[in-house]
Structure 1
Amino acid sequence: MTYSRTIPVRAGEEFDVARVWAYLQEQVSDLPKDLPQDLPTVEQFPSGASNLTYLLKNGPFQAVLRRPPFGPLPPKAHDMQREAAILNRLHPHFPLAPKPYVFCADETIIGSPFYVMEYRDGVVLDDRFPDGTQPEPDLCRRISLAVVDTLADLHAVDYRAAGLTEFGHPEGFLARQVKGWIERYERAKTDDVPGVDQVTRWLAERVPVSPEPTVIHNDFKLNNMVQDAKALDRPVAVVDWEMTTIGDPLMDLAITLGYWVQADDPDGLKQMMPTVTTTPGFLTRDELVQRYAARTGRDVSQMDYYLVFAYFKLAVILQQIYVRWKRGQTQDERFATFGQRVERIIAHAAQLVKEARR
């Protein structure tokens, strides 16, 4: 899957291209000179289930526009101004974070706030390799190392020096996260899911002590990285920074692990989250943890807890999307099966809790 693979804009998710282009011409100093007089073409990135993301192209100029989803939104969620501000301050310290061009608070332009950032061309590795690629074990190993080393590099950023202190409240972060995500699940609940009470009770009773806080992406995974098309083990960007904050770096690692499916994982998990990481040569989750520990010096002895929480958090995110579909607030048929996905993830998390008690 290439990052540049786009689709025509989905029905009901269009915007006024002329108004956006006029705004960009007025506000963005980085626009190349002598661009064509035509309006830019607009396509949509089909992946992702949260913010809507579009590719704008006009001659040599390419940029990415991000806006919140349609329909009622949870309080403080999908904050475009916050996301753009984080990228603006993080980009000089972590160049894999794309540079934002402009944030627009004027909702009369497209009906919501939005921001526009630079486009990084490359390849996103999701459920398959690009055509013509031979995924030899050594390549898969190098990609694995690039993922975990990029995360370690992000966690090495001095968030105070980057001016990011205001974007998080690290004191009591993990306990607050556990409590908050349990509450989110209850608000979005639609069906009785076996095992959820067992998982939430176990999480609430065993919150570990966090290491020193860092910048955390909060949704760091292989398919939120863009790789060089000619060297798949070389990242050119990390995308989707909407949940970035200052908090527990082991939570960030656990989120990565939660999306990192192994060949020996249960079939239900592999079917629900198809990914190239089951290809021979990719590191196991345990190997990723040990590499991270070697790179950062952090104590990883409590990763079992963090991984259960990561799975639970993923289930809640899917549940929040599913309830919007069930209420008719979105027509995207991709979300119709999210209830079943929630059940599978909770079942897997419950099994991990059971094994942790032995």
Structure 2
Amino acid sequence: MPDGLDLDAFAHWIDAERPGLLDRPLEATLITGGKSNVTYAVSDGSTDVIVRRPPLGHVLATAHDMAREHRVITALAPTAVPVPATHALCEDESVIGATFYVMERAAGTAFSQASDLAVLGAERTRDITGRMVDVLAELHAVDPAAVGLADFGRPDGYLERQVRRWKKQLDASRSRELPGMDDLVARLEGTIPSTGEGTIVHGDYRLDNLLVDTTDEDRITAVLDWEMSTLGDPLTDVAVLLAYQQLAEEAPGAGRALVTDAAKAPGYLSREEVLARYAERSGRDVSDIDFHLALAFFKLAVILEGIHYRHSHGQTLGAGFDGIGDLIVPLIQAGLRA
């Protein structure tokens, strides 16, 4: 039984909450050990579901809100944005020790490595990355009020609160000296642009948070990992996408350690093409992208410092965490350059 999921307790709860969804016995497999949230595949041999819960141990307040993640995925179901169907939410922490939710296991592959995309060829990779940008534009076109998310965030003052919030989360995980970090925070605080139109934002949008069905015309079947979603400035999503791409292209080692080097695959749209396609499909002004890019590198640095903190205290599951702490200063430097 994987750590963090009491399968017997879960089975009793799901039987009561969604009778007939799963039969006994159940098996659970850890899909990701929670560089962010922890994800399990649970199966009865014929039906598979996904269970998501917060990471074990040191959890920052509001950073791993399962109810919000469940809410936004459920709300987006009738829109053009592809999301998994949700089955149930459990806010009773006595069941497995944390709030969790259950959703369908959508078909498709999450492409995190350039080598996996290379097998498809440059033309298919170009088409997939174009669809990735188009789906982001579709997300930002959704009217929050029309899907019941009018109160999902406060777009006014969003960028100022982002800087303040991530600085606060940095302070909660900061256990060592981080050269350049205070300078980056000060420069962000001093150059905040006015917040434009508020949209639903994903918060961590990149190719490996999408599922692509390679058996069905490379269709994007699901956008995953909504834990940082809110209402805010849509350019923050574009900047996160570009930040991951820049890391992969300019610092290959760091790019791979930061989950994905997919942007190095032949055919992957260039950063300029990504930005131009988004601007065309969304109709938005992207001239403030430099601030958003600096903010994106700052957020990534804070996220990884939190992971480094949990890993150094033995609170992460699975592999892939060694060396995370060495990536923070290069992210800070990239933010300062931006």
Common fold by TM > 0.5 = yes
Aligned to 1:28: 18
Check if 1:247 corresponds to 2:239: no
CA distance in 1, matches of 2:317, 2:142: 40
The amino acid across from 2:236 in the alignment is M
- 1:195 and 1:262 map into 2 onto residues whose CA distance is 18
Secondary structure of the structure 1 residue equivalent to 2:82: coil
Q: C-alpha offsets along residues 92-145 of structure 1, whole Å, 9 cap, x if unaligned?
A: 2245121211111222221222111111021110014549x6332211211110
Moved more, 101-110 or 183-192: 183-192
Q: Compared with structure 1, are the counterparts of its residues 337 and 291 closer, same or farther at alpha carbon in structure 2 (3 Å cutoff)? A: same
One-letter amino acid matched to 1:74? L
For the Cα contact (< 8 Å) 2:139–2:201, is it kept in 1? yes
Aligned to 1:56: 42
**CA contact 1:148–1:292 (8 Å) conserved in 2:** yes
What are the residue-to-residue correspondences of 1:180-195 with 2, within 5 Å?
A: 180-195=165-180
Distance in 2, Cα, partners of 1:270 & 1:158: 34
Q: Retained in 1: the 8 A contact 2:81–2:139?
A: no
Q: Is the 8 A contact 1:17 1:39 kept in 2?
A: no
Is contact 1:211–1:298 with CA below 8 Å preserved after alignment? no
What amino acid is aligned across from residue 61 of structure 1 in structure 2? T
> How many percent identity over aligned positions?
36
Number of the residue aligned with 2:57: 71
Q: Shift of residue 305 of structure 1?
A: 1.2
Contact 1:268 1:344 in 2 (8 A): no
One-letter amino acid of the counterpart of residue 182, structure 2:
D
User: Separation in 2 of the partners of 1:29 and 1:286?
Assistant: 50
Q: How does 1:226-237 map to 2 (within 5 A)?
A: 226-231=211-216, 233-237=218-222
CA deviations 1:269-291 (Å, max 9, x no partner) are 44534422112211111211111
* In structure 2, distance between residues paired with 1:262 and 1:185: 21
Separation of aligned partners in 2, 1:47 and 1:129: 23
Change (3 A) 1:83 1:270: closer
2:158 match: 173
In the TM superposition, what is the alpha-carbon distance from 1:41 to its structure 2 partner? Answer: 1.3
Equivalent-residue separation in structure 1 for 2:53 and 2:249 (angstroms): 38
Is 1:351 matched with 2:302?
Answer: no
The TM-score normalised by the length of structure 2 is: 0.92
Work out whether residues 140 and 280 of structure 1, in 8 Å CA contact, stay in contact via their aligned partners in 2: yes
SS in 1 for 2:126: helix
2:294 to 292, 308, 323: 308
Structure number with greater CO (CA < 8 Å, separation at least 6) is 2
Once the two structures are TM-superposed, the CA of residue 167 in structure 1 deviates from its matched residue by 1.3
Alignment of 1:268-279 (within 5 A): 268-273=253-258, 274-279=260-265
1:142-157 correspondence runs (5 A): 142-157=127-142
Query: Radius of gyration: which is bigger?
Result: 1
Q: What CA deviation, in whole Å up to 9, does each residue of 1:7-54 have, x standing for no partner?
A: xx65xx1533222122212211572xxx65x31211110364111111
Which structure 1 segments of 5+ residues have no match?
1-8, 353-358
Per-residue CA deviation, residues 275-333 of structure 1 (Å, 9 max, x unaligned), is 22112211111211111000111110111111111011100000112122234444766
Aligned equivalents of 1:264, 1:114: Cα separation in 2: 36
TM score, norm. by length of structure 1:
0.87
Is structure 2 residue 289 aligned with structure 1 residue 289?
A: no
Q: Which residue of 2 aligns with 1:5?
A: none
Deviates more, 1:316-325 or 1:42-51: 42-51
Structure-1 separation of matches of 2:296 and 2:125? 24
* Number of matched pairs: 337
Q: Answer yes or no: is the 8 Å Cα contact 1:41–1:57 preserved in 2.
A: yes
Superposition RMSD on alpha carbons, in Å? 2.2
Match in the other structure for 2:188: 203
